[in-house]
Amino acid sequence: MQQVEKLKSFLNAKTVLLYWSMDDEVYTHDFVNRWYQEKCLLLPCVDGDDLLLRQYTGPDSMQPGPQFGIPEPVGPVFEALEQVQMIVVPGVAFDHNKNRMGRGRGFYDRLLKSTPNAVKVGVAFSFQLFDTIPTEPFDVPMDEVISE
């Protein structure tokens, strides 16, 4: 996440979509807490088969999500998707062509298609990087992939 902080696309972005990390993902909690007062930081909230976005306004704004128990912010849904300038995306695997493999439900692929102007940055551990991974026509590649 220290590398993300140095990206010009992050420094220039006013509205950034992040994620609240699970145990097997690149840890984001400290990053979110460090930046939420300087930028509009959005976190995804599971709503059936889709992700809704809500602004993170501090640790007290979080509650366990309904499907996976991942903490999600409460408050109004952020609907101005054209304002999202950068998205930091988790994944199970990434390849050298900037393709991403998620957990198989398509949450992020659907969301990424609705934010075509946002810079998409995948973050992963080095063991999650491969020469190639299987892709489908609906998969959305990253603009950049960062690992340690």
Cβ(10)–Cβ(86) under 8 Å? yes
Angle at the Cα of 47 (from 43 to 51), degrees rounded to 5? 40
Domain containing 88: what range? Answer: 2-147
Res 49: pLDDT? 79
Cβ(100)–Cβ(89) under 8 Å? yes
| Count of structural domains, the chain | 1
Cβ(94)–Cβ(142) under 8 Å? yes
List the beta bridge partners of residue 93. Answer: 101
Cβ(94)–Cβ(108) under 8 Å? no
Confidence of residue 7 (pLDDT cuts 50, 70, 90): very high
Place of tokens 């903490």: 71
Distances from the Cα of 28 to the Cαs of 41, 76, 77, 82, in angstroms? 12, 22, 21, 23
* Residue 85's CATH number: 3.40.50.10420
pTM score, two decimals? 0.92
Which tens digit of pLDDT belongs to each residue from 51-93? Answer: 899 999 999 999 988 877 789 999 999 999 999 999 999 999 9
